[in-house]
Each structure stands twice: as C-alpha cells, then as structure tokens.
Amino acid sequence: MMAKLGDICSIVSGTTPKSNRPEYWDGDINWVTPAELNDDSDIIYESQRKITEQAVQDSSLKPFPAGTVLLSSRAPIGKVAIAGVEMYCNQGFKNLICSNRIYNRYLYHFLKNSTEYLNSLGRGATFKEISKSIVENIEIPLPPLDEQRRIAAMLDKVSGLIAKRREQLDKLDELVKARFVEMFGDPIKNEKGFPTITGQDFFKLSNGKFVPENKRFDNGVPAYGGNGISWYTDEILYHNDTIVVGRVGFQSGNVHLAKGPLWITDNAMYISDYDSDKYDLRFLYALMEHINFTRFQDAGDLKKITQKPFMSMEYITPTLKQQQEYVVFVEQTEKSKLTIQQSLDKLEVLKKALIQQYFET
C-alpha cells in the first residue's frame, strides 16, 4: 500500500525572526537551521542558535513537537533528522509531524535514503527548493505500524553498526597521528632536537605530464593527480614507489604515497629521486602529511603550489631504525583498518539491499 505524505503527516515550516533585533536572539529556545544537519544527523536535542520568548511572540512562531521529522527543503535539499524536543526552525524546512498511521523513524529512514530523488524534485531558478505541495505528494510504502517499527529497528541496527565501524577507522587514524607525535613531536618545532636537512639536499621533485583523452582508461597503469588516482593509462612515467604531490587546484599541497609503476598527471609533482640512506619513503610521506603543505598554496582563485616550499623546508631526520619502527606500527594499524573496512563495505551493501527491499517499489 502506498500513501502520500500529505495524507499521513502535517507538514510545517518556520520563519526567521528579524536579525536586527538583538532582543530576539541568544535566548534559551531552540531554533534550528538546515546548516546544522548533515549526513549523520539523527536526533537533535539542541540547536546552535537560540531565540527568545519575545521573538516567538512578536513573530508568531509556531513550534513543532518532539518526534517531528525535520526535512531540509533548500540549500541543501534532503538533510533529515528527528526533533528530540520541541523546537522552532527557519524557513529552510518542510517538517513532518507524523499521524498515528506512520512511525517517525520509519519515515526518517525513507527520507534519509531518498536524497537523490528529493533533489530531483527541486524547483527554482536561483536555488532549488521543494515546496510544501511537492512534499505532500511524495508517496511512501505504508505497511502496518508493527512492520514499520520492525523495518526501522533493522535499519537502526545496521546504521548503528556502520557508524561504529566508521568510528573505529577514525580512532585508528587518530592513533597513528598520536604515535607520530609521541615518537617525533611537532616536526616544525622539532622539540625533540632531531638533526634536520633541507628538501633540496636529499630529494628531487619532478612535474607530471599530460595524458591525452584517448590514453585515459578504466584500468591499466594508475595515473595520479592531486587527489589520488584520476584514471588509468597504458604508459609508465615512473617505475618505483613515490610520493605524489598535488600541484594545481584545491588539492595542491596534498601528498599521496603511490606504488609504482605509475603515471603522474600534469596537475601533480612527484619525488623522482631521494636519499634512501637517510629516509624510508613511507616515513617521509607521514612527515610531509604532518607538515601540511596545503598551507603554502598561492592565494587567488586558482590554487596552486610550487616546488619551493618542499625544497626549502627543514625536515627532521630520525634514524632509519626509528623511522622503520613507526612504519611497522602504521602497517600493523593498516591491517586492522583493512579488516574493519571490509566489514563496513559488507554492511553498506546490506543496508542498500534492505533499502531497496523496503522502499523501492
């Protein structure tokens, strides 16, 4: 059975009190905006901005109750959460107050996994927006309430496991960073007093080369740009493992540890030679990440970076034994991450299959 949202929910929006009235702001009443919602939003108990009782009275604001499903209707369309307490909002929402025919967490999962569809419904020349009438006419499969609750509980469980796996990956990344600082300190301040050497004294940077359209494939030799692998080709520019550095665009200054053989595009640079008696390449990559060369991007609309900051930088030089001790730790952590990532991939495939089963007719 299908039902229109307008037949099973009351759809309400909000408004913004006048911003030039300071007595309307910094109160203790929750007033939420779409900017506060993201892909991980679930239940919201507190808004970032607050309004006063005077703002509510003077602007004739209407609250929506706890349990309301929040749906952003403009810039961006399709962000979803559930109000954990009574709240107010601005005009960037079409919020759904559920009747006794639909369970709010069931609706939440339906909308959260309909972002692409919701965006396709957007109308407007300056910016896209979905109107109240559009939301009212969206159809949703409507099984009995007990079945809705079962479906929502299943999706909550899978979503929770996915969130836990992502959190585990984040914590392992934090662990690696903490281990680096523990062993080597801040590489710029060099509080631990390691010997230093300038980049020009132990490595060479070379620019990548353009790959014509007819040489870009879906498989073959990986071609690296500033954001990692851009495509594949059938020619080799460099045979060995290297560090690839973004040269042009917002990715300029980003570093990637890349396995050879490979190609490097003209949007990137790469280390074409280095003193392996002084550095383990894998440690040098971690060192460059911690230095964060993106801060040396040229100002202007077209972001770019030259070789100069890399070649003039003073790099700490721990012993190879110390470098390799860190590298072994990183590699052990990467094995744990791989296991977790494989579990995460399986869970995301499962969730996608469940969404198709429950909501796609």
Give the pLDDT band (50/70/90) at residue 300.
confident
192-196: long-range pairs with CB below 8 Å, 24+ = 192/316, 194/316, 194/317, 194/318, 195/316, 195/317, 196/314, 196/315, 196/316, 196/317
Q: For residue 334, what are the domain limits? A: 144-179+319-361
- 190 belongs to a structural domain: no
Distance between CA atoms of residues 286 and 290, nearest Å: 6
Same domain, 240 and 335: no
Task: Note whether residue 62 is domain-resident.
Answer: yes
Q: Are residue 297 and residue 228 in the same domain, yes or no?
A: yes
Shared-domain flag, residues 22 and 89: yes
pLDDT of residue 360: 82
- Structural domain contains residue 98: yes
CB proximity list for 95: less than 8 A, separation 6 or greater: 11, 12, 13, 14, 64, 68, 69, 70, 71, 83, 89
- Whether residue 187 lies inside any domain: the answer is no
User: Do 327 and 247 reside in the same domain of the chain?
Assistant: no
Res. 190 pLDDT band, cuts 50 70 90: very high
Q: Report the pLDDT value the prediction gives residue 250, as an integer from 0 to 100.
A: 86
pLDDT of 17 above 80: yes
What is the predicted pLDDT for the residue at 208?
A: 96
Return the structure tokens found at 41. 């939003």
Report the CATH number that the domain containing residue 277 is assigned in CATH. Answer: 3.90.220.20
pLDDT grade for 291, boundaries at 50, 70 and 90:
very high
Q: With a cut of 90, say whether residue 38 has pLDDT above it.
A: no
Q: How confident is the prediction for the chain on average, in pLDDT?
A: 95
- Residues 331 and 271 grouped into a single domain: no
Portion of the chain with pLDDT greater than 70, in percent: 100
The 10s digit of each residue's pLDDT in 231-276 is 999 999 999 999 999 999 888 999 999 999 999 999 999 999 999 9
pLDDT digits (tens, 9 = 90+) for 321-357: 999 999 999 999 999 999 999 999 999 999 999 999 9
Is residue 186, in this structure, part of any structural domain at all? no
User: Which segment of 58-62, 161-165, 238-242 scores lowest on mean pLDDT?
Assistant: 58-62
- What confidence score (pLDDT) does residue 361 get? 61
Cβ-proximal residues to 125 (8 Å cutoff; 6+ apart), any chain: none
pLDDT per position as a tens digit, 92-139: 999 999 999 999 999 999 999 999 999 999 998 788 999 999 999 999
Asked whether residue 251 falls in the same domain as residue 298, the answer is yes
Taking CA atoms, 185 is separated from 72, 296, 316, in Å, by 44, 21, 10
